[in-house]
Amino acid sequence: MNEGFQTLQALDTKSSGEARPALRLLIAAPRGFCAGVDRAIEIVERAIDRFGPPVYVRHEIVHNKYVVDALKAKGAVFVEELDEVPANVPVVFSAHGVPKSIPAEAERRELFYLDATCPLVSKVHRQAERQIEKGRHIIFIGHAGHPEVIGTMGQVDEGGITLVETVADVAALPFERDDALAFLTQTTLSVDDTAEIVAALTARYPAIAGPKAEDICYATSNRQAAVKEIALQCELVLVIGAPNSSNSLRLVEVAERLGTPARLIQRASDIDPAWLASVETLGLTAGASAPEQLVREVVNRLGEWRMIDEQVVTTTEEHMIFKLPRQLTE
């Protein structure tokens, strides 16, 4: 048991009956699951119900261990490559999207597959194909190695797309000012960072083509805006999300850019009570892959140490719903 916990526990259980110290808790809204994550999880659950377990899933369906473990308990088997999938069982592609080579391989092997790619990611895939058809080289703004980036870059032939992660990367691009270029972005980036990179691209390549509407998804933008709303009122912000979740990491960065310390946690058990020693107002949010159960778990844990004054700060409401694949609805 760590020292911070002992201190707070002692404070809470003093024979004098002294009350636990108050904690103002600002909970950001929107937070947690987005429509794409809801859809992906429902695809796996419906596939298990319709076809029976096991249902294989290529890569984590979404980046959250709690969600993955819950689906495993229902009969999902998670693998990284299709050669791990036996014949005659369904396989689901994750919400992050896959290169075109993956469904092609599944078809060669005569695997039955369901595509849980977020429709907003699929939209970027279609944009990439159209830009290539128009003879443009694509500059893709994203984080190297992220599954969504791998999937989007895998929509076009090698050599047709170049990844940039920073403004410095833009300065190092080898293209001429008037070359036929287009840019697209990963859907889970920092809104502010991406704006800076896009500004650098358009300054260097004034004729570069961009998407009609920004590729950063509504959920990512909304969650970042909600964190901005609460961060300046807090001494600390907690973000519930996985360390490999791009949108969750961006929420931490958003708070820190405003000068408010922030910590990424996966579960309530990750919280060190010592973090709260000088905190009177705490912010709380959750990445797009984190279920609301984890938010309540954190609130309950905080309530063991402090008297919670819980306030939800809503910056917008979300009503987006995505259709399921026809294989699960017919």
Question: Which segments of the chain belong to CATH 3.40.50.11270?
Answer: 35-115
Q: What pLDDT shows up at residue 18?
A: 59
Active site residues: 148
Name the fold adopted by 119-216.
Cobalt-precorrin-4 Transmethylase; domain 1 (3.40.1010)
Q: pLDDT below 50 — which residues of the chain?
A: 1-17
Question: Which segments of the chain belong to CATH 3.40.1010.20?
Answer: 3-33+218-314, 119-216
Q: What pLDDT shows up at residue 33?
A: 97
Q: What class has domain 35-115?
A: alpha beta
Q: What pLDDT shows up at residue 151?
A: 97
Rounded to whole angstroms, the Cα distance separating 267 from 248 reads 13
Rounded to whole angstroms, the Cα distance separating 23 from 298 reads 13
Q: What class has domain 3-33+218-314?
A: alpha beta
Structure tokens at 306: 């402090």
Q: What pLDDT shows up at residue 177?
A: 96
Q: Are 175 and 204 in contact (CB under 8 A)?
A: no
Structure tokens at 290: 């984190």
For 137, the 3-state DSSP assignment is strand
